[in-house]
Chains A and B, each alone.
Chain A
Amino acid sequence: MWWLAKLGSVSKRVKRTPLYALHRALGARMTEFGGFEMPLSYSGIIEEHRAVRQAAGIFDLSHMGELELRGDAALGVLEYTLTNSARRLADGQAQYTLLCADDGGTLDDLILYRLGRDRYLLCVNADNIAIDREWLLPYCRRFGVELVDLSEELGLVAIQGPKAATILSRLSPIRPGEIGRFHAQSCQLAGYSCIAARTGYTGEDGFEIFVAATHSATIFDALLQAGRDEGLLPCGLGARDTLRLEAGLPLYGHELSRAISPLEAGLGAFVKFGRGFIGESALAAQRDHGPSRRLIGLETADGRTIPRQGYRIFQDDSEVGVITSGSFAPSFNRPLAMGLVQSRANTESGAPISVEVRRRMAPAKIVPLPFYRRSH
């Protein structure tokens, strides 16, 4: 649990992104995440969270990894290693997908971009860059596909929120309306070549912008200046986490892990069977017999007690599961949580459960996921 590590303390071996100096100048409180010293928040998690819901927020995501596959057999390697089928992706189109082991456990979840017929970009979790690369390398070698780790060279900046498109269009000749959801386009932004993708991790409309690491601070600052009068705020990983929790989006290490399959995490829509990919037979068995656990949303009855990752979930006096993520949810002004529970538990909306919080039982109930869906 990264936020339980001593707040504000960062060990010596962690890396810094090219935006480090800018974060400090903006008054960010830093934290360690995925081997990087990253901003936890600038003006406060709640204020940043609300800026993204109501206007826009900008995030440094340079810690995320980028792997590129190049070669005629790139699609074949991806079809064999990823749970979602990339076969129907058009150039510039993206999809959410997962990397699984033979037993169906999840190695990583990622966004796959088709850059061209023989070029694909994988945007992966910072903690899993080396794992993904080493996992994919033997398959790439066998089929003559080049695997390039661009994580150091590429920066990633996200602008998210209902005003994101308006702000982006101030800096670029592109018309954001021409980039559909889960599509990406090459563009010039503040004079630099970028790839702008209409993707995100907040439950809002928005863009994730890949740019050479050397220019990422310029892009970040340009977007910040262009959006100030619209209410745009720089946002840290704290707000990123509360935003994705409200949107019911999984975070690797919480809702997904080597011991949790995509089906258990409720991500069956991103598993395409009948292609013979790694882990397919284990996942097919889970599909046929029903996964043994499922992901649920929950809220505590008093509207104050916060269930945190690792707290145990009970129903009718027996232990049925564990909290995977829980936090105060700023859009709802009360705590919300997700958890993995055994399938035998009653997981209907409103079903009573309890969460063990500091050796006491806190009454709670099941709430459908996602908690938040944008209306605009």
Chain B
Amino acid sequence: MILATLAGLVIALLRRSRFAGLRWCASVYIWVIRGTPLLVQLVLIYTGLAAVGIYQFHDVSLLGLSVKAAVQAAIIGLMINESAYIAEIIRAGLDSVPKGQFEAAASLGMKPGKVMRWIIVPQSLRVMVPPLGNSFNGMMKTTSVLSVIGVSEMFLVAQSISSYTFHTFEIFIVAAIYYLALTTIWTFIQAHIENRLARQLGIEQRVRITQRLLGARRAGAPTLQPQG
């Protein structure tokens, strides 16, 4: 997810590049990746590349841990897939910052990189976190697709247990609870991040976890643009 966010950031910035060629590359990347299923991408990366002899993943050991070939392919595949969506989220976030903010920063003599770092990104984060959270949440569940290339993730494990115990219902209920537990933990983290960002903007907003999970109403959603 972190890799995907970084890659997504790079692609989103490419799309804003001064050079038409870079913008074009980024757009095509997003178009192709979002237009094809993750399942197909994974099989292409893991099996397809090896079949045509471009690249074959091998097990490697990293910091004393052995990383299986399929796991490497899974990480790369998920990163590529997710980065295209994240690039779009970041683009929307950056677009949400009013033009006057760019102009004010530029008129102080800030270079484009600093304008992004100190003025634009801090303001767009707040807009980006909820959809990024969605993405992350979705990705945790998408890991079930990885069973296709033989990564022993939860779904594959559950399937193999059920195939010799025949307790299909019980085992997949347990799997579902595990998935729910993982995404719930993320929900907590996301609420924490959102509250922090709101505090940075001087907005009194406390989303309680219970509100978050049980969908309680939030009165008077705060807006980002105080100036008229």
- Asked if A pairs with B, the answer is no
